[in-house]
Amino acid sequence: MSRDGLQVTVVGWAASTPRGVVGDGAAFRSFRVATTPRWYDSRQGAWTDGRTEWITVKLFREPAMNVAESVRKGQPLIVHGRLHTEEWTTEGVTRTGLVLEATALGHDLTRGRATFTRRVYTSGAADGAERPDDGSRPEDGVDPWAGEAPSSAESVPGPAQGGAADEPADAEEALVTS
């Protein structure tokens, strides 16, 4: 295995809207992605769905801010990064879940259209603030994490709100139809 761990690419649907989380002293964005294998069963003459896998996606630093502005529940995504398991204890029960630390993420353009807006930074800015292309300055004191104060449950490292057992059985179907 490489020192980077297990690198995977997941194609699926955003099962939750990204939220700000503070865990182990580091702020990050977290959301869930659901992926279900699907194939055509020629014996039955119909499409068949396999088991849905639920994966927590985590992003840090600038990508975390970008995903907060770009991804919403129900959108088709392609996520690439390092896959690992994470353990946490809730109500005396130890649980494990899949976590994908994303290094690349985008909308699946085979399922729709998207537009891209590049963040532009001015060199030498004392505050390192983003500057729009028109040269105007964003309002001072704007906190990109504002309104995202985590509750005590969100500050626990690990997948959001438990594991796959907490997800509805027909969640992906609901995502597709919404």
88 is in which domain, residue-wise? 6-109
**What per-residue confidence (pLDDT) applies to 165?**
39
**What per-residue confidence (pLDDT) applies to 142?**
45
H helix runs in 39-83, sequence order: 61-70
Structure token digits, residue 85? 């398991």
CATH number at residue 69: 2.40.50.140
H helix runs in 34-82, sequence order: 61-70
How far from 158 is each of 32, 49, 108, 149, CA to CA, in Å? Answer: 11, 27, 26, 17
Model confidence pLDDT, tens digit, residues 125-177 = 455 555 444 444 444 444 444 444 434 333 333 344 333 334 444 444 434 43
- Tally Cβ neighbours within 10 Å of residue 178: 8
Model confidence pLDDT, tens digit, residues 53-106 = 999 999 988 888 888 889 999 999 999 999 999 998 999 999 999 999 999 999
For the chain, what is the domain count?
1
Model confidence pLDDT, tens digit, residues 6-38 = 999 999 999 999 988 776 667 789 999 999 999
Asked whether residue 38 is assigned to any structural domain, the reply reads yes
**What per-residue confidence (pLDDT) applies to 124?**
52
